[in-house]
Structure formats: structure tokens, C-alpha cells
Chains A and B, each alone.
Chain A
């Protein structure tokens, strides 16, 4: 039974959320501020920490910083702030995921399970991750990092990259890419795939004119391959 530590000063929310999570098969310990949360973390060693950002006595950021000094236990940040800059700050400080209020309990539960599954794989690339040549894709977070730096891809660009990485070293035809990214009903509309690839390269490649990841196979399609990588998994 996975043990969760919920650090949040909102008593109404913590009471309801803990009841819901217990019903989903977790054990839940509640701490109402960062200081008590850190103490509970040392005492209980939870499998995952749910951490509110806005709290008295050590806010979520400061608490996260202290957690990361001593532990790599997975942390999901809960916050009322949904700006992209806040989300990026969370990831750069070592948060494993970020959920914006108001969230549904079912949605949060799904994210907890995804982060726990990743954590069980020791953070190594597994089913939820693709990795090759400094490029890392988290399939559940829908995030991409290149050499540790987060990249800002649109949902379509993300799907394109994943479609190519899943078939590393294979030539993927424009028809197959369209079928995978947009759906089979659009399989004949391949005329603009090269434009999507051009824009994807601008974001993913350090030098788009000399691509390291996405290569043209003129007349056939595109191939994802890095000269210095192990297989994408």
C-alpha cells in the first residue's frame, strides 16, 4: 500500500483528499505546513509527497528545496498558480509533477500512480520515458528535455517527436507520421509534413541545418537517429 505525505494548510481539502486517496488504496499522512512536513518525511519515509506551494512557515518552494537536499522521494506540487513560469520553476527545482488547483481527485490520483510507476523504475528510462542522445521525453508529463534543458513543444510537435523516437533508426514515411499524429482519416494529407518537421527541428536541434536527431531520407521519409545514443526506450 503506497504511503503518501500530504503537506497542505487547507484543512478542508486535506481531509477530503486523504479520505479519497485512502479509498483508492493509499495510506495518507497529513502535515499542515512545510516544517511539520519535513519532520514527517524524516519519520515516515513516504513513497510520494504531495506538496502545496502557498503555505505559512516554509512555503512549498522552500520545503521542496530542503527535501531535495536530503532525498529524491517523488514530489508532486499542488498549487493555485498555473503560469508556465511557475511550472518550469517547479521542474527545475526537482518536482516530479505539478497539478494546478482546482484539480479533480481522480486526475490527481492518476498522476500519483504515474509518478510512482516512474519512481519504481528507479528514474531510469522505462515505459513512461524515451531517451536518446541527450534528449529525454516524459510521456505522461508530455515534457521534453535536451541535455537537461526543458523544451517548449506544441502538443502536435510532441506527438511527432514521440512517433519518430518510438521507431528509432527506422525510416518513417510521411503517411505513417500523419496516421500516428493526426489519425488515419488524414493519411492522404501529407503535403505539409515537411513544414512540421522543419519547425520541430528548430526547437529540438541545437543546429537545425546539421541535425543531430531528425534526418531526411529524401523520397522515403524521416529517421530519428543519434550517432552517440543508446536506443530510445
Chain B
């Protein structure tokens, strides 16, 4: 009932959000002619409107998934280009170092490349948000039997064992103080559901490092490798 209500409200927000975003787009066209203060206000409104749009989109994705209406279109996916693309998009605007460990000759995995990239982007964004810039993000991929393991490790505050069981719940945010990075607590929930819809799994391991000053978390995805009849290739 509650979920239906949220879904309905989110759905109804899509039309006014189009007008709101479009109006801001229109106003931004003449932003150069505005006083600096008005331009700043317009830019803040644009950023906030985009954030609200992303939130509504996440809610709709969640409700579609829960209703079994999310159309997953799987196919063979090359891991290295997908992960590198995700990292490029998320980290394009900052100086964050990435420590890459992608095994050579990884077999393609069976996944929906659009949704999987969305999940990986979210994990990289989280790793970036929750750890200081002096440390790199570690991105690894390797074959484990009939699966490929893709992991994103950070040097952030880590996740206490008692919190790890509900980190993937809806609207869960472990840090709610003023210093907490912005977010809605939907990314991991949606990520785990999306990966599960592709016959994979998303899990967490924490702490990671021996130094208690940078305990860190590792989120890892296990995806099945592509099954192709060898005699037909």
C-alpha cells in the first residue's frame, strides 16, 4: 500500500519535473545576462531539481523492480570496458586515484549492461563520497569458477558488522549527521535488486584494512559468465 502510494506520487511528479527542469533550462539560456547572485540561485535550483529528478527516477525503478516490471535485457558483457567506462563517468571531474586490478582475458559475463553499469557507477560514487581523497579507490575483477567477481574497495569509515545486514534495506543511511554525504538511501537497495534480477549478487565486506584509521569497505558483485556451447562457436 505504502509502496503503491510512493510509486503513484513519483509517477505524478514526472510531468511537473519536466516543466520545472525545462523552465530552468530555458532560464539558463539567458543566465549570462543575469546578476551573479541570480545566476548562482539558478544554478543551485538546477542542481537540486536534477537531484529530485534522480530521486524520483530511483523510486520508480524500485517500484518497477518490486512489481516485476523492470525489463532486464541480458547479453554478453565485457567487464573491463564496462567498469572503466563507469569509473570514467563518475570520477571525470575529480583527481581521485584508482588502483586497477582487472584480470587479463576475463570471459564475458551474462548481464544487462545498462543496469550493471548503473550499479557499478553507484558503488564507485559511494566509494568516492565516503573516503578521503588521499587514498585511492581499488577496482578489481577476477574470475571465480563460473562467475566473475567485480569489487570496489575504499578506505572510508567502514560498516560495522551489525549494520551490514541492513545496509541493503530501503532508505537506510548509516550516517545521518550533518557531515553525512548527500543521498537517499536507495542506491544499494536498488543495486542489490538489480544485480539479483540479472542472476548475480551484490555483497559487502568490512573492515578491510589493518590500519584502524582507514577501515574501509568492499562492495563486490558476482555475475555469471556467459554460457556458450563451445561446439557451435
- How many interface residues does chain B have, given as a range? 35 or more
Given A192-B78, A192-B226, 18 other A-B contacts at CB below 8 A? A10-B15, A23-B26, A80-B11, A80-B14, A80-B15, A83-B64, A84-B71, A101-B18, A102-B14, A106-B25, A154-B74, A155-B114, A156-B113, A189-B78, A189-B80, A194-B233, A195-B107, A199-B226
> Which residue of chain A is the closest to B13 with respect to CB atoms?
A102
Contacts from B to A (Cβ < 8 Å): 11, 14-19, 21-23, 25-26, 29, 53, 56, 60, 64, 69, 71, 73-78, 80-81, 105, 107-108, 112-114, 226, 228-229, 232-233
Question: Residues 104-145 of chain A: 1 if any B CB is under 8 Å from the residue's CB, otherwise 0?
Answer: 111000000000000000000000000000000000000000
**A-B CB contact pairs (8 Å), 24 listed:** A10-B15, A13-B22, A16-B23, A16-B26, A17-B19, A20-B22, A80-B11, A101-B14, A101-B15, A102-B53, A105-B21, A105-B25, A105-B26, A154-B74, A155-B113, A156-B113, A189-B105, A192-B76, A192-B226, A194-B233, A195-B107, A196-B76, A198-B229, A199-B76
Interface size on A, residues (CB 8 A): 37
Residues of chain A within 8 A of B19, CB atoms compared: 10, 12-13, 16-17
A194 to B17, CA, bound (A): 45
B186 CB, min distance to chain A CBs, angstroms: 17
Interface: A19 (CB within 8 A): yes
CB-based contact B14/A156 at 8 Å: no
Residues of chain A within 8 A of B108, CB atoms compared: 192, 195-196
CB-based contact A182/B15 at 8 Å: no
Question: Known contacts A101-B18, A154-B73, A156-B75; is A191 also within 8 Å of B105 by CB?
Answer: yes
The answer, among B18, B56, B71, B73, for a CB contact under 8 Å with A83, is: B71
